[in-house]
Amino acid sequence: MIPLRDDTPSSSRPIVTYLLILASVLAFLYTVSLGSEAAIERFVVAYGAIPGEITGRTGGSPISEYPTLLTSMFMHGGWLHLVGNMLYLWIFGDNVEDVMGHGAFLVFYLLVGLAAAWTFILTAPGSTVPMIGASGAIAGVLGAYLALFPRARIISLVPLGFFLRVVPVPALLFLPIWFLLQFIQGAASLGADTAGVAWWAHIGGFVAGFVLVWVFARGRRSRRDWW
């Protein structure tokens, strides 16, 4: 299923969501502007989060690597990676920001992104592969959206045989299915230190978002709109 939009309007302009998207796009454009693969690789190694360096398994000073837990959230490995992440943030971020408020949403986004990164690091503490992408933080936004808007409908492209149909899918179905797919892939990836999708970052981010939303959105929305 590919989400296109939801049926839940926002009452405020999602300024932070716009800025997060802009920051990710600019970071990606800067990365590709470096030109050579060697220069891009050096940049990714410098600003991506490498589990083995953060845990100290590969030597060095782990504390000096902590800033990469934040910088890695704004880096992407290709156009498809970037566009997919930004599509999800565009669709789901505005509603969560609308409930939390701009400042709280920014703090929330960074916290769930950190939770996502640490979840992946704990599953692959010796990995030397840089972890990049906003997927973990955006997964946290999805977890928050599920808690806040379980009755919402996600207008999605759904494959039916050889055709794609535009179908409204309840958030209460769409998001748990998304989470289940991440969990299945994550379970299959345990013990692998090779490059690929950081499935456990998605899982950790989603769970963190579902839990932390109760703190960040407390008192900002009528309980009849929640679970």
Model pLDDT for residues 23-79, shown as the tens digit of each residue:
999 999 999 999 889 999 999 999 999 999 999 888 777 888 899 999 999 999 899
Q: Classify residue 90 by burial, with Cβ atoms within 10 Å: 0-12, 13-18, 19+.
A: middle
DSSP code of residue 196: S
Name the CA dihedral angle for 165, 83, 79, 160, rounded to a multiple of 10 degrees: -10
Q: What are the backbone dihedrals phi and psi of residue 57, each rounded to the nearest 5 degrees, phi first?
A: -65, -25
Percent of the chain with pLDDT over 70: 92
Number of domains making up the chain: 1
CB-based burial, 174-187: b 16+ in 10 Å, e otherwise: bbeebbeebeeebe
Pick the range with the lowest mean pLDDT from 124-133, 172-181, 189-198: 189-198
Model pLDDT for residues 151-167, shown as the tens digit of each residue:
999 999 888 777 888 99
The CATH number of residue 177's host domain is 1.20.1540.10
- pLDDT level of residue 220 (50, 70, 90 thresholds): low
> Which residue type sits at 24?
S
CA 176 to chain centre: 15
Domain span at 142: 2-225
Average pLDDT score over residue span 212-219 = 86
